[in-house]
Chains A and B, each alone.
Chain A
Amino acid sequence: MKTTFIIAWRNCWRNALRTSIVITAIIMGIWSSVFLMGFANGFVQQRVNKMVHLEIGDLQIHSESYDSDSDITNTIKHPKETLAILDASKGVQSYAPRFKTEAFARSARGQQGIKLLGVYPEKEHEVLELETRLQAGTFLESSLSYPILIGKKLATELHLKLNSKINISFTDANVNQISKNFKVCGIFSAGNDAFDGFTVFVPIDRIERLTGEASIHEIIVKSVEPSTIDILENDLKAKSKGNLVESWKTRYPEIAYGIEMMSNTMFILMSIIIAALLFGLVNTLVMSILERKRELGILMAVGMSRSKIRLMILFESLVYGLIGGPIGVFLGYITIQYYSYNGFDLSSFGEGMDAFGYDPIIYLYLEPKYYLIYTSYILIATFFGGLYPSRIATKLNPITAIRSI
């Protein structure tokens, strides 16, 4: 076995230039596919994290019929019991009840349909991180009598700045038209035009002051362990009667599907890259075998079994994978680490990414297990890549091979 490996190793380096080119091609291919995976993963994860941490939380609770009828009267059923369930649940880290209705915003320079959220500011902080995305002012911590937090996009559309007046009008549960002037106390930018342009936050007690009550239409929940939100979702579903409990994956299936699609696409792309590399590898091995047919004939003549010849060729194939695979994966890891801290800046050719909720700076990320999976994948692939050349070698007739030039 040792001799077989020694011969295989030295055979690989007989033509050092050719071997180096093949290994370099493998390294480049693996590096690029790992980088692409890290990029795609970071791209999607960043979108999900942004959405979960800035906009919707891990889970949301609404009345069962809220999606088909989002009328102001369609509030959370049994709100006290529901909040008590959340308080008692070990999987819930924090939650924030919200008043939510369609409204109309008007400034001196324009008007816009919006989503009005009446919130408990301190509870919002416990669930979301929107205060980290403030461009100006505060997150409703204001001495103003009617403060309002708006998105950058809406501020631009309505030409608003801090302390600007904005009129908000909506219909309350008793079909009374409520119209009130608020003052901008803060401007945020969640990096998603759909959210920044249509969502405004006001303290829930101001809603109560205006309508006489502050019903709860939505509760956003932060889980203790985001990776197990499916379990928490099912647990809360079973306990919360009359309400719909949905994780972000259930509520926004297109995002979850997008992640899966991206992952599958990247896997297919990686497979194509590796397949292309394997063709190069197989070609190199076949060439190398045809160049040393005579030598293989001698090895057979002096008693080296066909299984050892096969093993030798497989070793040769594995040498390429053993060198190229880990180096490619390691380079991919280094690149991903670098861009996970510094970000990959797409702003120069990523105009308008905000409009779709994507940041122009992508922070690459790849789960550690994938590095191991890729390395194993390469080794398995190079092993299979050696099967065909080894078959050619073992099918040689010693006499014919020895006579060949």
Chain B
Amino acid sequence: MKTVIETNKLHKIFGKGELAVHALNDVSIQIKEGEFTALVGPSGSGKTTLLNLIGGLDQANEGTITLNSCDINTLKKKEMTEFRQKNIGFVFQAYNLIPVLSAYENAEFIMLLQGISEKIRKKRIYKLLKAVGLEGKENNKPGELSGGQQQRVAVVRALAAKPAYILADEPTANLDSKSTNDLLDLMYQLNQEEHMTFVFATHDQRVIDRAKRVIYLEDGKIIKDEIR
């Protein structure tokens, strides 16, 4: 398998002077295509920061990030936005759906930005909504869905446009056990069937147990890299 995510000596510092916090300190990782990886560590260990840097939402102070042979540090803002849209699917802890759009429209949103035809959009979204057990909830607004259901819509949104990478930040933090298991089953299935690369930032043991690779972070440094 080829390496699709590579970070080299990443440093990220928040704040200045005496208040400066070294969130990431010389982090170098390589993630191969189709891996199901968990970034694990206590709060403040740097896992979300690393995820944000890989997703191009933030910029490192030092070091390089290469996604599928593309050094994302060299991309301009507009190019980065386009790159994210085409290659990266995000799942956030707080679901972060667009409240004025229905479940279907939320899921459809990124595909629309990509200009994918309506026929393909419909087919793909209905299939995914069915897979996550949200059949019949297409027209419900986020406010009319439970937390678990909202997170499943967020996953569908992330997966719908078939991105190369899914970056998930504490996706199960607000879910009960059943919802967590259902969600992980779905992600694992997609990982197997569509060879999407998944990277989770989590300290949920249920996610860690299902991961094929676990990278442990502490104080901004990698302390252990476990491949199962």
Contact = CB atoms under 8 A, between A and B. Distances in A.
Nearest to B113: A303
A227 interface: no
Contacts of B113: 3, 302-304, 308
Most chain B C-beta atoms within 10 Å of own C-beta, residue among A294, A303, A305 = A303
Contact of A3 (B78, B84, B112): B112
Interface size class of B (residues with CB under 8 A): 20 to 34
Contacts of B224: none
B100 interface: yes
Given A301-B84, A302-B85, A306-B78, A294 B96 contact: yes
Contacts of A3: 105, 109, 112-113
B80 to A, nearest CB: 10
Contacts of A305: 78, 81-82
B86 A303 contact: yes
Most chain B C-beta atoms within 10 Å of own C-beta, residue among A295, A298, A305 = A298
Contacts of B84: 301-303
Interface in A257-312: 294-295, 298-306, 308
Interface string B163-181: 0000000000000000000
B158 to A, nearest CB: 8
A112 B108 CA distance: 88
B101 A7 contact: yes
Interface string A374-405: 00000000000000000000000011001000
B100 A306 contact: no
A399 B57 contact: yes
B157 interface: yes
B99 A300 contact: no
A399 B52 contact: yes
Contacts of A180: none
B220 interface: no
Given A14-B99, A295-B98, A402-B96, A302 B110 contact: yes
A335 B92 CA distance: 54
Contacts of B82: 303, 305
A398 B78 CA distance: 13
Contacts of A402: 57, 92, 96
Contacts of B99: 14, 295
B185 interface: no
A262 B142 CA distance: 55
A300 B78 CA distance: 10
A304 B98 CA distance: 12
A10 interface: yes
B157 A302 contact: yes
A298 B85 CA distance: 12
Interface string B85-100: 1100010100010111
Interface in A21-66: none
B173 to A, nearest CB: 15
Given A298-B92, A302-B90, A306-B77, A7 B98 contact: yes
Given A7-B101, A303-B113, A295 B81 contact: no
B194 interface: no
Contacts of B226: none
A367 B77 CA distance: 50
Contact of A10 (B57, B100, B112, B114): B100
B98 A298 contact: yes
B110 A303 contact: yes
A280 B55 CA distance: 38
A11 interface: yes
A395 to B, nearest CB: 11
Nearest to B89: A302
A250 B157 CA distance: 73
Given A14-B99, A298-B92, A304-B81, 8 more contacts: A3-B113, A6-B105, A295-B99, A299-B98, A305-B78, A305-B82, A306-B77, A399-B57
Q: What 5 A-B pairs have minimum CB-CB distances, sorted nearest first?
A: A303-B85, A10-B100, A298-B96, A3-B112, A303-B84
Interface of A: 3, 6-7, 10-11, 14, 294-295, 298-306, 308, 398-399, 402
18 contacts: A3-B112, A6-B105, A7-B98, A7-B101, A11-B100, A294-B96, A298-B98, A302-B113, A302-B157, A303-B86, A304-B81, A304-B85, A305-B78, A305-B82, A306-B77, A399-B57, A402-B57, A402-B92
